[in-house]
């Protein structure tokens, strides 16, 4: 049976997609599943001692995963400037090839039970002047996991993103709430509202300051019965 794979997107940039991805990786590994992540496009990289481009999201994925995969497979496109990936790719005269991404995803599916593909930015963040992360998810044929950054305004952002995901024809497999604002008022009531209005399971909750790397995922509340839905 081919590995399950999901596209992880967010209500915005900096809402905790990587924390959520790492938390899910750790939880899946703890259930005895081979879990690995893919970051198709990453910008804001640094050069390591071997002259390779390191990205902190990719390194976090590797630490939380229990599958060792080549860097070029898990992160096919990496750019130095900390700018929107579509601008970084344009400056480097690189075209993001969706066929190449599919090949890499197929490779990872042969190595794991579950593959989490983390996008950059939000659902409609551009890949280039014509395509978006939504187009990438569609080209890869993946259901979606949405990470909601819990802060003032998140209800509108979350429901608009859910609407856009469904309008694209993608399936919303679940969502993760990440409390990025420690002082958010009535946070529990906002979370309850989203539970009532998002027709997909809440997979987990990340408290403010929660870390999701290997060995620290106990701070992240992954709802195990719902985690099972990702493996069916």
CATH of the domain at 94: 3.40.50.300
Residue 95: φ, ψ to 5°: -105, 125
pLDDT for 212 equals: 44
Counted residue by residue, the chain has a size of 232
- The pTM for the full model equals 0.92
Residue 6: φ, ψ to 5°: -140, 150
Angle, CA 192 vertex, CA 191 and CA 193 arms, to 5° = 90
- The parent domain of residue 130 ranges over 4-231
pLDDT for 144 equals: 98
pLDDT for 183 equals: 87
DSSP, collapsed to helix, strand or coil, labels residue 181 as coil
Q: What count of other Cβ atoms lies within 10 Å of the Cβ of residue 159?
A: 16
pLDDT for 1 equals: 65
Burial bucket for residue 128 (CB in 10 Å: 0-12, 13-18, 19+): middle
190: left (phi over 0), alpha (psi -120 to 50) or beta: alpha
Residues identified as active-site: 39
pLDDT for 213 equals: 42
pLDDT for 225 equals: 57
- How many structural domains compose the chain? 1
CA pseudo-torsion sign 89, 139, 12, 41: negative
| Tens-digit pLDDT string for the chain (232 aa) | 678 999 999 999 999 999 999 999 998 998 899 999 999 999 999 999 988 899 999 999 999 999 999 999 999 999 999 999 999 999 999 999 999 999 999 999 999 999 999 999 999 999 999 999 999 999 999 999 999 999 999 999 999 999 999 999 999 999 999 998 888 899 889 999 999 999 999 998 888 765 544 334 445 666 655 777 787 6
Q: Closest Cα partner for 126 from 153, 88, 170, 74? A: 88
């Amino acid at each position: 049976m081919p590995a399950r794979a999901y596209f992880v997107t967010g209500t915005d940039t900096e809402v905790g997609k990587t924390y959520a991805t790492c938390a899910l990786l750790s939880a899946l590994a703890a259930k005895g599943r081979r879990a690995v992540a893919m970051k198709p496009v990453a910008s804001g990289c640094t050069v390591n001692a071997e002259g390779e481009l390191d990205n902190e999201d990719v390194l976090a994925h590797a630490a939380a995963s229990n599958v060792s995969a080549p860097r070029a497979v898990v992160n096919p496109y990496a750019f130095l400037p900390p700018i929107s990936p579509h601008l970084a790719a344009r400056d480097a005269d690189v075209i993001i090839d969706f066929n190449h991404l599919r090949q890499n995803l197929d490779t990872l599916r042969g190595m794991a039970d579950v593959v989490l593909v983390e996008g950059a930015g939000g659902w409609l963040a551009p890949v280039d002047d014509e395509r978006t992360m939504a187009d990438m998810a569609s080209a890869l044929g993946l259901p979606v996991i949405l990470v909601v950054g819990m802060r003032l305004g998140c209800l509108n952002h979350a429901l608009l993103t859910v609407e856009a995901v469904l309008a694209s024809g993608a399936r919303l497999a679940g969502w993760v709430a990440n409390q990025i604002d420690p002082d958010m008022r009535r946070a529990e009531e906002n979370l309850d509202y989203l539970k009532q209005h998002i027709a997909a399971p809440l997979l987990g909750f990340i408290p403010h300051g929660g870390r999701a790397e290997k060995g620290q995922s106990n701070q992240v509340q992954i709802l195990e019965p719902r985690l099972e839905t990702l493996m069916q």
